[in-house]
Amino acid sequence: MQETRLPQTIMERLAPQDFVERLAALTTGYTPDLQQELQEPAYYDRPVLAEPVWHWEIIWYFFFGGLAAGCYIIATIAALFGSREDRAVVRTGYYLSLLALLPCPVLLIKDLGRPERFLHMLRMFKVKSPMSMGTWSVVTFSFFSGTTAIIQAARDGLLGRWWGARLLAALPQKLIALPGVAVGFFLGSYTGVLLTATSVPLWSRSKLLGGIFITSAMSTSSALISFVLRLTNAVVPRFIVGNSLHKLERLEWAAMLIEMTGILAFLHESGRAARPLVGTAPTEHGMTFWRFCFGTGLVLPWLLQTLSLLGGRGSRRIGRGLLISVLVLVGGYFLRRTMIEAGHISSKDARTTLWNAKR
Amino acid sequence: MAVEPQRAARQPGSHNGVNPLQAAVSSLVGSKVPPPPSQPAMGFFTDTSLCIGCKACEVACKQWNQLPAKDPVWTGSSYDNTGALGAITWRHVQFIEQIGDGYQGDRKGSSLPDTKFEDRVAEAKSSGTIPQVPPGTALPFFNTDRWLMRSDVCKHCANAPCQEACPTGAIIRTEFDTVYVQQDICNGCSYCVVACPFGVIARDEAGTHTARKCTLCYDRMKDGMVPACAKACPTDSIQYGEVDKLKAHARERLGILHERGVGEARLYGVDDDILEGGLNSFFLLLEEPEVYNLPENPPRPSNNVVPASFWSIVAALVLGMLGIVFFRE
């Protein structure tokens, strides 16, 4: 009990409710005025919209899908532009991409009302529907991620020394990865576009969610790759990661900076519609969002990363590096979780929905 | 019976005079059946000024479409214990009670006096004359309390967000220009549920696990019959017909109401450009749309795809460039 209480107490000290409430008002530019809102006409406060049926499956899919896309993109950039020592990044990135991708179809199919009809998704190629395009991007990306990882495995000697493995190793991995990266960027961002193309005020008022999700995919992926590289380095000292970690950390630092800017712009544009995400009312998710997504998931690791980068290569320690990675990964998960769960609250808020429809 | 041979010819399974290979292929992938010839667009005109809140439409809809009853709940707020449209509720009657001083709605254009009920009674007592009843309004004497009713239904939007969102092609426009969910295609992904700006379509969690909503009685329409709710409506509050003629009728009805002093009457989904094309199932309201939980001018979700994609591409380009810069020695 003591252990579970402790982080809570620290959080209450660092981010008390009135502070979070002031943050919410400041970032959204909207201070809730209950009297004013009650003057607005509505029908017994019954929701205007139907509640989304998306729950934990979709949250984890968004998280893993982002990792699969981000790891693939980073690995390919390292393969095309990196040096010889960056081959550890390439290898780790391609394997992690495939690993993160594996649960995605399972989660997506489980989420359907009629899972046995999942192939009906491939009846159409509908540019107007992000759900249709997203399904196609998952299918296409599976091909690229699978192929690239198998080639990598063949080159690493994991498939043995027979002629088939030699043939696979000879395939042009970089050439295959080029279109794969484009699909990867699509996979990492379409989830945000999918949420934007709905009627839920929180998701649709600002148009930045796609950009935020792909940026978060990059920050969490560089965190995951550097986490694995650092661990491998600690366990196998011969395994040299050299300058690669430094490159990954700089990418992670920049992605986090863009992500924070994007989220602040998102909140500013959404205004009142962002309340379920940032507010502190019992139904609103602000306490979780500010503490675990924005606070310890972005601002804290970004500051730690800044210290590390300023301190030069010598001052970096394994512990701090691993901690930054874990914080970023947890923050990325909570970004998706609070966004989906606050979307449920947003869909139930009749007055804000009606306000959102006045133009 | 005359319809039967025609129906048989439309069945995908019949391959008379087709070579065996084609027959085998079409039995696997389904043969391309030509769509039925286009018909005039059909829709509903729901005139709330005539609704008496009898819920016959709800019952008729449930009966004809064999929709199960939902678990009974008591809302405690009005006679509306149905609550909302949903997977097994395709007509829903609302009861809006505008009673007493607490009511703060829009009375612009209304001929109703603005003073309190008690004040008017006191005035009548002191002066000894009963004030004139405002024309075409609330009944008991000088009472301004109002009881509004409306039978809600799928709007069959000209640009239907649910149909635009559907990834399987289960949601189609029929030959009558109505929006219809093919139950054998839908796989219950529920993207339509969050796309609909009116909260109409929902996934049937207890039954088929597919998305369901009003079909405008597609089966009855095909045989030239009036949809069940319109047939059952005792006051012609629900009218069914060709959209163009119905819209003309709606404007005419609005003119009559305005003439008779019901200045607060207005149309919803007729002349306005809701979702950039109006609604095939539209309403005459006696209040501003929000009072009926109707969004005044909801954004069209599919319009968000381009700007959201644009910002995604911007982010992708910036991140890609940064990656290249950092990984280059």
Q: In the numeric block, which tokens belong to residue A95?
A: 């394997």
Q: Which pLDDT band, with edges at 50, 70 and 90, does B27 fall under?
A: low
Q: Decide if B291 touches A, using CB distance below 8 A.
A: yes
Q: Which of B86-100, B199-213, B242-256, B307-321 has the lowest mean pLDDT?
A: B86-100
Q: In this complex, which of A46, A74, A200 lies closest to B194 when CB atoms are compared?
A: A200
Q: Tens of pLDDT along chain A (359 residues)?
A: 444 556 667 777 777 888 999 999 999 999 998 888 888 899 999 999 999 999 999 999 999 999 999 999 999 999 999 998 899 999 999 999 999 999 999 999 999 999 999 999 999 999 999 999 999 999 999 999 999 999 999 999 898 888 989 999 999 999 999 999 999 999 999 999 999 999 999 999 999 999 999 999 999 999 999 999 999 888 877 666 678 888 999 999 999 999 999 999 999 999 999 999 999 999 999 999 999 999 999 999 999 999 988 876 554 578 888 999 999 999 999 999 999 999 999 999 999 999 999 97
Q: Which of A240-244, B158-162, B172-176, B309-313 has the lowest mean pLDDT?
A: A240-244
Q: Decide if B210 touches A, using CB distance below 8 A.
A: yes
- Residue B323 and residue A74: Cβ atoms within 8 Å? yes
Q: Which pLDDT band, with edges at 50, 70 and 90, does B262 fall under?
A: confident
Q: Decide if B318 touches A, using CB distance below 8 A.
A: yes
- Residue B168 and residue A123: Cβ atoms within 8 Å? yes
Q: What is the torsion angle, in degrees rounded to the nearest 10, for the CA atoms of residue A309, residue A314, residue A319 and residue A324? A: 10
3-class secondary structure per residue, B159-174: CCHHHHHCCCCCEEEC
From chain A, the residues in CB contact with B295 under 8 A are 48, 353-354, 356-357
- Residue B116's pLDDT is 64
Q: Decide if B99 touches A, using CB distance below 8 A.
A: no
Q: How does the average pLDDT of chain B come out, rounded?
A: 86
Q: Decide if A290 touches B, using CB distance below 8 A.
A: no
Q: Which of A207-211, A215-219, B110-114, B289-293 has the lowest mean pLDDT?
A: B110-114
Q: Which of A260, A265, A270 is nearest to A332 (CA)?
A: A260
Read off the pLDDT of each residue in B280-307 and give the average, rounded to a whole number. Answer: 95
DSSP A264: H
CB within 8 Å of A342: residues ≥ 6 apart: A202, A276, A277, A284, A285, A289
More confident residue, B302 or A3: B302
More confident residue, B259 or A318: B259
Q: Which of B154, B152, B150, B155 is nearest to B51 (CA)?
A: B150
Q: Does domain B41-98+149-300 have CATH number 3.30.2130.10?
A: no
- Residue B327 and residue A81: Cβ atoms within 8 Å? yes
DSSP B96: E
More confident residue, A174 or B128: A174
From chain B, the residues in CB contact with A131 under 8 A are 165-167, 189, 191
Domains in chain A (CATH in brackets) are 1-52+244-359 (no CATH), 55-199 (1.20.1630.10)
Say how far apart CA B291 and CA B286 lie, in whole Å: 9
Say how far apart CA A352 and CA A47 lie, in whole Å: 10
Q: Decide if B206 touches A, using CB distance below 8 A.
A: no
Q: Looking at the complex, report in whole angstroms how far the Cα of residue B129 sits from the nearest Cα belonging to chain A.
A: 35
Q: Decide if B301 touches A, using CB distance below 8 A.
A: yes
Q: Looking at the complex, report in whole angstroms how far the Cα of residue B42 sits from the nearest Cα belonging to chain A.
A: 25
Q: Does the pLDDT at position B223 exceed 90? A: yes
Q: Which pLDDT band, with edges at 50, 70 and 90, does B10 fall under?
A: very low
More confident residue, B54 or B33: B54
Task: Indicate the length of chain B as a whole number.
Answer: 329
Q: What is the torsion angle, in degrees rounded to the nearest 10, for the CA atoms of residue B224, residue B228, residue B233 and residue B239? A: -40
Q: In this complex, which of A54, A210, A251 lies closest to B311 when CB atoms are compared?
A: A210
* Residue of chain A nearest B204, judged by CA positions: A113
Q: What are the C-alpha distances in Å from B54 to residues B57, B70, B127, B173, B321?
A: 8, 18, 40, 31, 65
Q: Which pLDDT band, with edges at 50, 70 and 90, does B132 fall under?
A: low
Q: Which of A236-250, B44-58, B312-326 has the lowest mean pLDDT?
A: A236-250
Q: Decide if A135 touches B, using CB distance below 8 A.
A: yes
The phi-psi region of residue B57 (left if phi > 0; otherwise alpha if psi is between -120 and 50; otherwise beta) is: alpha
Task: Indicate the length of chain A as a whole number.
Answer: 359
Q: Does the pLDDT at position B208 exceed 70? A: yes
pTM of the model: 0.89
- Residue B111's pLDDT is 44
Q: Which of A253-257, B88-92, B96-100, B113-117 has the lowest mean pLDDT?
A: B113-117
- Residue B169 and residue A41: Cβ atoms within 8 Å? no
* Residue of chain B nearest A121, judged by CA positions: B168
Q: Decide if A130 touches B, using CB distance below 8 A.
A: yes
Q: In this complex, which of B77, B302, B305 lies closest to A44 when CB atoms are compared?
A: B77
Amino acid at A39: Q
E strands along chain B, which residues?
42-47, 91-98, 146-153, 171-173, 179-181, 202-203, 211-212, 238-242, 266-268, 281-285
The phi-psi region of residue A221 (left if phi > 0; otherwise alpha if psi is between -120 and 50; otherwise beta) is: alpha
Say how far apart CA A170 and CA A151 lie, in whole Å: 8
Say how far apart CA A105 and CA A1 lie, in whole Å: 37
Q: In the numeric block, which tokens belong to residue B116?
A: 């309190």
Q: Decide if A82 touches B, using CB distance below 8 A.
A: yes
Q: Looking at the complex, report in whole angstroms how far the Cα of residue A2 sits from the nearest Cα belonging to chain B.
A: 41
Q: Does the pLDDT at position B103 exceed 60? A: no
Amino acid at A120: H
